[in-house]
Chain A
Amino acid sequence: MHSKASAVNLQLSLNARRQRHLRGFVFGSILAGVILLVGMQSGSFEQSAGILADVILQKVHQQTLSQEQYLQWYVFSELRAPRMVMAMFIGALLAMSGCAMQGLVRNPLADPGLIGISGGAAAAAATALALINHFPELEAGGQYLIAFSAFIGALLAVWIVLIVARTPAGMAISSLILAGVAVNALAGTHIGAISYMANDDALRQITYWTMGSLGGVTWSKVLFVGALSVPIIGLYMHLRQPLNLFALGENEAQCMGLEVNKYKRFILWVVAFSVALATALCGIIGFVGLVVPHIARTLFGADHKYLMPACGLLGAILMLAADTASRALFPPLEIPIGIVTSAVGAPFFLYLLAKQKRGGAIA
Chain B
Amino acid sequence: MLELEKIALYHGATPLLNGLDITLKVGEFATVIGENGCGKSTLLRCIAGLHSHYSGRVALNDRELSGWNTKTLATQRAFVNQHNQVQFAFLTEEVLQLGRMNQKETLAQSTELICQVAEQLSIGHLFARDVRTLSGGERQRVYIAKALVQLLPNANTAKYEGAFEGKLLLLDEPTSALDFRFQKAMMDVIKSYCQQGLSVMCVSHDMNLVLPYANQVILLANGRCLAQGQVCEVINEQNLQLCFGVTPTLIPQANSVPFITH
Contact = CB atoms under 8 A, between A and B. Distances in A.
A254 B118 contact: no
B154 to A, nearest CB: 14
B88 A259 contact: no
Interface stretch (A54-62, A65-73, A175-183, A295-303): A295-303
A245 B98 contact: yes
A4 interface: yes
Contact of A3 (B52, B94, B115): B115
A2 B118 CA distance: 11
Contacts of A11: 107-108, 111
B87 A7 contact: no
A11 B72 CA distance: 27
Nearest to B102: A257
B89 interface: yes
A4 B108 CA distance: 11
A162 interface: no
Given A7-B115, A11-B111, A257 B89 contact: no
B234 interface: no
**How extensive is the interface on chain B, given as a class?**
35 or more
B17 to A, nearest CB: 16
A257 B71 contact: yes
B186 interface: no
B116 A252 contact: no
Interface in B58-87: 70-75, 77-79, 81, 84-87
B111 A301 contact: no
Contact of B114 (A10, A244, A259): A10
A258 interface: yes
Contacts of A14: 93, 107, 111
- Is chain A's interface secondary structure helix, strand, loop, or mixed overall? helix
B70 A259 contact: yes
Given A255-B50, A256-B101, A257-B75, A6 B124 contact: yes
B70 A302 contact: no
A108 interface: yes
Interface in A226-272: 241, 244-245, 247-249, 251-252, 254-259
Given A6-B118, A10-B127, A248-B95, A303 B90 contact: yes
A244 B107 CA distance: 17
B206 interface: no
Contact of B84 (A3, A4, A252): A252
A10 B71 CA distance: 26
Contact of B73 (A4, A10, A257, A297): A257
A190 interface: no
A11 B113 CA distance: 12
B86 A10 contact: no
- Is chain B's interface secondary structure helix, strand, loop, or mixed overall? helix
Given A254-B50, A256-B74, A301 B91 contact: yes
Contacts of B74: 255-257
A256 B71 CA distance: 7
Contacts of B108: 7, 11
A60 B133 CA distance: 59
Contacts of A108: 87-88
B112 interface: yes
Contact of B87 (A2, A4, A13, A106): A106
Contacts of B93: 10, 14
Contacts of B203: none
A140 interface: no
B150 interface: yes
B70 A257 contact: yes
Contacts of A303: 90-91, 94
A242 B93 CA distance: 17
Contacts of A106: 87-88
A106 B132 CA distance: 14
A247 B86 contact: yes
Nearest to B132: A361
A363 B87 CA distance: 9
B111 A10 contact: yes
Nearest to A262: B70
A108 to B, nearest CB: 7
10 contacts: A3-B116, A3-B118, A7-B114, A10-B111, A11-B107, A108-B88, A251-B48, A255-B78, A257-B72, A303-B90
Closest 7 A-B residue pairs measured CB to CB?
Answer: A257-B74, A302-B88, A7-B115, A106-B87, A257-B71, A3-B119, A7-B112
Interface of B: 45, 48-50, 52-53, 70-75, 77-79, 81, 84-91, 93-95, 98-99, 101-102, 107-108, 111-112, 114-116, 118-119, 124, 127-128, 132-133, 150
Given A257-B102, A361-B89, 5 more contacts: A11-B107, A106-B87, A168-B53, A241-B98, A247-B86
